[in-house]
Amino acid sequence: MYGFPVFLALTAAMGLSILLSLPLIYSRRAQGRWGVGLNAAAIGILFFLLADVFSDASPILYPRGYVANPAYAFAFGGAFLLAFVGLYLVDHSAVRGRAEPGPTGPLRIATMIAIGIGLQNLTEGLVFGVNWTLGNLGIVAVVFLGFFLQNISEGFPIVSPFLGTAERRRFGEIVGLFLIGGLPTILGGAIGYFWSSDLFLVVFDAAAIGAIAYVLLPMLRVAFRPLEDRAATTRRNQIVYLGVMVGFLLGFAVNAI
């Protein structure tokens, strides 16, 4: 296999491919019904990521079918709770600290989504780094292409809290959020290149699942919030159902390449 500089360049390409979704996100079509559809597709992608991340940890958690490894299962549950409850406490302490009570702002939700995706991408980097050091060239090529394309789609969940709102999306803030989600791929790759551990992979997979599960709840609440007009609510809900399905299938199709 090639040396570390080539490896680092490839992990950077995987992690930073998330920036390729910027043109579509800043398109005029990312508002109105298109905004509702993109937001719903982002929810579908996050649902897929939950399943995808768990599939990475499940062979370690269940090495003999349905019989779980107690130590890894305990570590998985603890990391899940730490991420989920940790985000809850941070989120609600921030809301209590506001001068006027109100819903959590789009930027805060987007930041939490970016953190969850960043934890998931860190484990992707670990997988890439381990297979690189083992010399599995075929697996490395498949992993690179799959993660590269998947990371492009992950820009939509991060920016989804801004879609359909009046809040201005500053370019620097969006790029910063994308880097929170994408740069951990490089960190995970470097760790996997020099060192690997099943426990480490399980802990970060569980933390990613906990973070993604937490941010999905407010996204679903906003997506299905009743409108003043009942007919408009029905039409919006139809778009949401379709968008979630398309987003999930998109994540599955990209991951299957």
Range of the domain at 87: 4-256
Maximal CA-CA distance, the chain: 61
pTM above 0.75, yes or no: no
Percent of the chain with pLDDT over 70: 87
Residue listed under structure tokens 């760790």: 191
CA–CA separation, 57 vs 199, rounded Å? 10
d(CA 182, CA 151): 7
pLDDT tens-digit map of 1-58: 568 888 999 999 999 999 988 887 777 666 666 777 877 888 888 888 888 888 888 9
Residue the block writes with tokens 């599955």: 252
pLDDT tens, position by position, for the chain (257 residues)? Answer: 568 888 999 999 999 999 988 887 777 666 666 777 877 888 888 888 888 888 888 999 998 877 889 999 999 999 999 989 988 887 777 555 554 444 567 888 888 889 888 888 888 888 888 878 877 777 677 778 777 877 887 887 888 777 665 556 678 888 999 999 999 999 989 988 888 788 888 888 888 888 888 888 878 887 888 877 888 888 889 989 998 999 888 888 876 66
Count: domains in the chain: 1
